[in-house]
Amino acid sequence: MANIDTAHLIYLIVLLAMLAGWFFLQNRPSMNKTLQQAAVWGLIFTGAAAGVGLWQDISRDSARQQISVTEQGQIILPRSRDGHYYLTARVNDTPVRFVVDTGATDIVLTKSDAARIGIDPEGLDYLGRAGTANGETRTAYVRLDEVVVGDAVDRDVPAVVNDGIMSQSLLGMGYLQRWGRIEISQGELRLTR
């Protein structure tokens, strides 16, 4: 609906008002029933308009959420609606969803993701410090047995567990540098070894 210009919109509103006026004048004797029918048709029209307006967003998101792996092993990530790139990697044989973050130095795990891959976050020594958008937070250095992205398998990968509140684990430059080429173009992030 964003492509409809103002003149067309005004024309459609006037036309709709004229049709509604004619409808009410024709059905004046049974106004109660007419109002009920108008309300039902109004709800149907609103639902249809919402469906048409949201269809592009729904179809784009469902089609673009998938990671692609080419025959050469290149990973292609579509940009999500929020402008970030998300990648699900298998860490210690457990799927973990990451935000690709070139501003992060390392792989940064949330406490919950660390626990899911077999690391006890309460038993870690949080000796490191990291500056984040929310201020300084404590971190604990860990090593991941295995990180699998597409066909690429990396073993003994350094990472940190964040002691602060974090909604999503980050895939930072410490891991991304293992790829020979990182390219962002046309709404896609491509990782090539």
pLDDT over 70 for what percent of the chain? Answer: 87
Q: What is the pLDDT of residue 140?
A: 94
Residue 95's pLDDT is 95
Cβ-based neighbours of 117, under 8 Å, separated by 6 or more: 91, 92, 94, 96, 109, 144
pLDDT tens for each residue of 34-58: 677 777 887 787 777 777 766 666 5
**Low-confidence residues of the chain, pLDDT below 70?**
1-4, 27-31, 34, 53-66
Residue 151, pLDDT score: 87
Q: Strand, helix or coil at 103?
A: coil
At 135 the pLDDT is 79
Ordered by start, the domain boundaries in the chain are 6-64, 68-192
Which top CATH class is 68-192?
Answer: mainly beta
